[in-house]
Structures are given as structure tokens and as C-alpha cells.
Amino acid sequence: MSILLTGGAGYIGSHTAIELLENNDLVVIDDFSNSKPEVLDAIKEITNKEVKFYEGDYSDKGFLEKVFNENEIDAVINFAGFKAVGESVKEPLKYYDNNIGGCIHLLEVMQKHNVKKFIFSSSATVYGKPDVVPITEESKVGGTTNPYGTTKLFIERILEDLYKSDNTWDICILRYFNPVGSHPSGLIGEDPNGIPNNLMPYIVRVAAGQLEQLTVFGNDYNTHDGTGVRDYIHVVDLAKGHVKALEKLNKEDSGLFIYNLGTGTGYSVLDMINAFEKATNKKVNYVIGPRREGDIDECYSDPTKANNELNWKAELTIEDMCRDSWNYIEKKNSK
């Protein structure tokens, strides 16, 4: 198959590219707004395979037309989109334009070229503050607490309407929980610009001495140790989930499917610090600070549906996630 990955040089896109390259041809587009060209070299080094690459903005219809005209695309996985929660609160229009507007342009060009297999990177954020955990795909969605989350929710609705209007589409919505870790080669991984917002990249920088200490955002949550609980999933497991989702779309006549991609286990912030210190022998200095606005007590998945219907299960452990996150940064810093 020939698959188009938008945002394919990004954190999740690049890991998925590696898994897909085993059996598929890839066309990757990226504008490097949150990724680097070196990632493409690393993908080649890891897989020994070439991807066809176009630099450009996935929301630019003229650019997309060129890509679709020059390639026989069978399916599209949309990783492109902005993802910084805090920035989305400050610049909502930028998020609605790029994430929702961009995705609509992509779907329009796909429709025009009669390419109707689509996998969308959604997020557990669509569940808002869950009433109960673990969260199943039938749990209530809505109540998102920031524009980033709302873009994911709206795009899901748009995809549902699109499928209702034309059921020859094959659509898979993947709701990611908290992706962490990196490819075991240490050649690609997560390295956000500026001060990280997310827990694991922050822990890694404290361990590397690049940041002084981690602030644990609140220890008065209704959890086993008072700190926030999340479902951290190794990015390689997450990437493999896309391969399985694609198999599902190829098997079925057509349909719109939604899956949680998580491990089903929740770890607190303090659990993560301990696991990281144990896996890497590095110290993570931290202080307890106030809660971060918009954060919730607990969010973890029930991944049964993906286990059963996709024949997919997250296999890597919390130690693997910590070790591989560290391995990537250590390798990078030693260059």
C-alpha cells in the first residue's frame, strides 16, 4: 500500500513511519513547524528504506493537490496539527484554523481523488473530565477544557458526519492516552522546543541537569498518592496500533471505528518519578506545587476494544518507557 502521513516527521508520525515501512510505501509531508529534517535521515538509518518526502503545510490545498497528483495514495494517516494545550488557550483561532481547517482541506482533497481510507490522531482529551475510570469508547465525550481538546472533539464529529453522508469512507479514530518513550535505537524521540509542558520530557531534562527541578502539579488529587494519574503508553506500542488500524480498514468493507490506545494501567506523577529513577539510575529533583488549571485526577483507558478488534495490545512496560525516553536524550546530548 501507499500511505500518506501528514506530520510524518513529528514524534508519533515518525515512530509510526518506521512500523509501516516494513510492508508499505510511504509519502510523508511535514512543514517542520514542530519537527526537524534530521528525523527523515534517522528513519532511513533505522529502516534502510526511503520515504518520499514533501515539505509543506498540510492545510494548503494547492500543495496537497500536487502530492495527490504525483502519487497513487491508498490511505492517509493525519498526524499533522498543533498540540500544545497552553498555547491553544492563548491562540484559539490558530488551533481551530490549523487543526480543523487543515483537516477539512485534507479530507476534501482526498474525496476529490477518491481516497477514502483515513486514520485520525485523536486524544483521550475528548473525554474531558471522565465520570468513571477506566474509560471505554462508549464513555461520554465532551466537556473539553481547552481549544486543543475541542479541535479533536470537533474533528471526530466532522468525521462522523462525513461517514454518514458517504458510507464508502473507511475511517478510524484513534484516541491516544499519554504517549512517552522513544524508538529503542535512540535516534528519534520526543524533544519539544522550549520548556516542556508534558511530564516525561520535563523529567528527562531534570535528570539531564538541563532543568533544576520538576514541579509536581498538586498532591491533593483523589488518587492513591494524591498526584495525577495517567495512562502512559510507549510510543512504539502506539505506532503499532496504527498498523493494526490500517489492517482493520483494509479488511472491512467500510466503517467508522473508534479505539482507545492505552495500556489500561494508570501511574501517578510520583510513580513515574520513581520508575524513572529506578530504570535510569538518575535522580529527579522535584517539589510539590499547586494544581495546574484544567488538570484532572485520573485518566486511564479500558483498551479491551482495541485488544479484541484490532488484535493489538500495548506490550512495553513503564521501565521501557523511562529507559527509552532517557536513552534518546542521552544520545542526543552526547552528539
User: Which residues are known catalytic residues?
Assistant: 148
CB of 170 to ligand UFG, least distance (A): 25
154 binds ligand UFG (CB under 6 A): no
136 binds ligand UFG (CB under 6 A): no
Site for ligand UFG in 198-227 (CB under 6 A): 198-199, 202, 214-217
Position of cell 524521540? 189
Q: For 215-254, give the DSSP string.
A: EEE-S-SSSSSSS-EE-EEEHHHHHHHHHHHHHHHHHSSS
Q: Are strands 170-176 and 117-123 parallel, antiparallel or unpaired?
A: parallel
d(CA 316, CA 321): 7
d(CA 8, CA 16): 8
> Cell for 140?
461520554
Q: State the residue number with the nearest CB to ligand UFG.
A: 228
User: Which window, 38-46, 59-67, 117-125, 135-143, contacts ligand UFG (CB under 6 A)?
Assistant: 117-125
CB of 26 to ligand UFG, least distance (A): 25
User: Which window, 35-43, 101-109, 119-127, 128-136, contacts ligand UFG (CB under 6 A)?
Assistant: 119-127
CB of 103 to ligand UFG, least distance (A): 16
Q: Is the peptide bond before 179 cis (omega within 30 degrees of 0)?
A: no
CB of 230 to ligand UFG, least distance (A): 5
Cα–Cα distances in angstroms (integers) from residue 30 to residues 39, 111, 118, in the given order: 11, 21, 17
178 binds ligand UFG (CB under 6 A): yes
Q: Are strands 286-289 and 232-234 parallel, antiparallel or unpaired?
A: unpaired
129 binds ligand UFG (CB under 6 A): no
Q: Nearer Cβ to ligand UFG, position 83 or 240?
A: 83
> Cell for 110?
482526498
Phi, psi of 110 (to 5 degrees): -60, -45
230 binds ligand UFG (CB under 6 A): yes
- 302: β partners: none
Q: What's the CA dihedral at 168, 96, 258, 29 to 10 degrees? A: 70
Q: Nearer Cβ to ligand UFG, position 255 or 294?
A: 294
- Binding pattern for the stretch 290-309 against ligand UFG, x by CB under 6 A and - elsewhere: --x--x--------------
Total residues in contact with ligand UFG, by rule CB under 6 A: 21
- Return the DSSP state at 131: S
Among 181, 228, 241, 303, binds ligand UFG (CB under 6 A): 228
Q: Nearer Cβ to ligand UFG, position 74 or 295?
A: 295
d(CA 274, CA 283): 9
Q: Residue 19: which of 183, 262, 186 has the closest Cα?
A: 183
CB of 197 to ligand UFG, least distance (A): 6
* SS3 category, 156: helix
CB of 292 to ligand UFG, least distance (A): 5
CB of 52 to ligand UFG, least distance (A): 29
Which residues lie closer than 8 Å to 100 by C-beta, 6 or more apart?
151, 154, 155, 158
Site for ligand UFG in 12-41 (CB under 6 A): none
83 binds ligand UFG (CB under 6 A): yes
7 binds ligand UFG (CB under 6 A): no
Which residues lie closer than 8 Å to 209 by C-beta, 6 or more apart?
none
Among 149, 186, 241, 264, binds ligand UFG (CB under 6 A): 149
Side-chain half-sphere CA neighbours of 268 within 13 A: 17
Q: Nearer Cβ to ligand UFG, position 178 or 280?
A: 178
Site residues (vs ligand UFG, CB under 6 A): 83, 85, 123-125, 149, 177-178, 197-199, 202, 214-217, 228, 230, 269, 292, 295
